[in-house]
Amino acid sequence: MHLAEQEGTRVREYTEPWWVKLPEGFSTPNFDTTIWSPRKPLVIVQSRLIDASAPVYGYGTPEPGDNDLTAQHAGVPLGEHITVHGRVTDSWGRPARDMLVEIWQANAAGKYVHDHDPTPKPHDPNFTGAGRTLTDADGWYTFRTIKPGSYPWWKDREAWRAQHIHFGLTGRGLTERYVTQMQFPGDPLIERDPVVSTIPDAKARERLICQLDWEAAIPGITIGYRFDIVLGGMNATPEH
Ligand code: FE
């Protein structure tokens, strides 16, 4: 059954006229959002903008505390507090320095802060779920956050998203944009995750799973995880 024919779900919100079906070959059966794209023609970006060498970061440079998602409100967020760090490199292993690393995620219950999250779960008044930082001269980044909860896949009531954190990396040019999602080791939901399963290469899927890292832990406060991101080549972290 086509998504637009489903009754009683929020799916209808995603069938507004500004979506249009992509030609066959662009879609991935297990991730049917891929069959939709904007109706309007793509905008040709002027070459001068593509080649921009100046920073294109949003509104100001990240502040030191922007990478601590547990300290954005008056109280302490619920959930398992974690440190997530890693190194961003290119296909040759060279550090990707001064990249803007942005993350966004659900709270410990598996609820996003925005109003379009249809899951009947509670918001956490002490957790927004968004942070950002810059990689250092050797490509390293660090975040302090909470382990996000799993959440049901809104298009299939039997499917669940594995616990994950979204990553968006931006370089110095408009075209230097890399988006992926980090999963957690030992999560039984990964195997049938509707988004992860769109990546056909099993070894590539493994590269989306962070590793427990005792060195990164803050004793008594956080559990540490390491998630390295390779931006290209044979060992690239899959974009998804
Ligand atoms: Fe998500």
Is the Cβ–Cβ distance between 134 and 91 less than 8 Å? Answer: no
Residues 35-80 pLDDT 10s: 665 556 667 666 665 555 544 555 567 888 999 999 999 999 999 9
Task: Give the distance (Å) from ligand 1 centre to CA of residue 218.
Answer: 26
In order of start, what are the domains of the chain with their CATH numbers? 3-36 (no CATH), 60-231 (2.60.130.10)
Task: Give the distance (Å) from ligand 1 centre to CA of residue 165.
Answer: 7
Asked if the model's pLDDT at residue 22 lies above 60, the reply is no
Residues taking part in catalysis = 112, 151, 161, 164, 166
Task: Give the distance (Å) from ligand 1 centre to CA of residue 42.
Answer: 26
**What is the residue-averaged pLDDT of the chain?**
83
Task: Give the distance (Å) from ligand 1 centre to CA of residue 43.
Answer: 27
* pLDDT of res. 211: 98
User: In angstroms, how far apart are the furthest CA atoms of the chain?
Assistant: 53
* pLDDT of res. 5: 39
* pLDDT of res. 6: 40
Give the pTM. 0.80
* pLDDT of res. 12: 38
**Residue range 183-209: mean pLDDT, rounded:** 94
Task: Give the distance (Å) from ligand 1 centre to CA of residue 14.
Answer: 16
Is the Cβ–Cβ distance between 225 and 184 less than 8 Å? Answer: yes
Buried b (16+ CB within 10 A) or exposed e, 128-155: bbbbbbbbeeebbbbbbbbbbbbbbbbb
**Residue range 183-197: mean pLDDT, rounded:** 94
Asked if the model's pLDDT at residue 2 lies above 50, the reply is no
* pLDDT of res. 8: 44
Task: Give the distance (Å) from ligand 1 centre to CA of residue 116.
Answer: 12
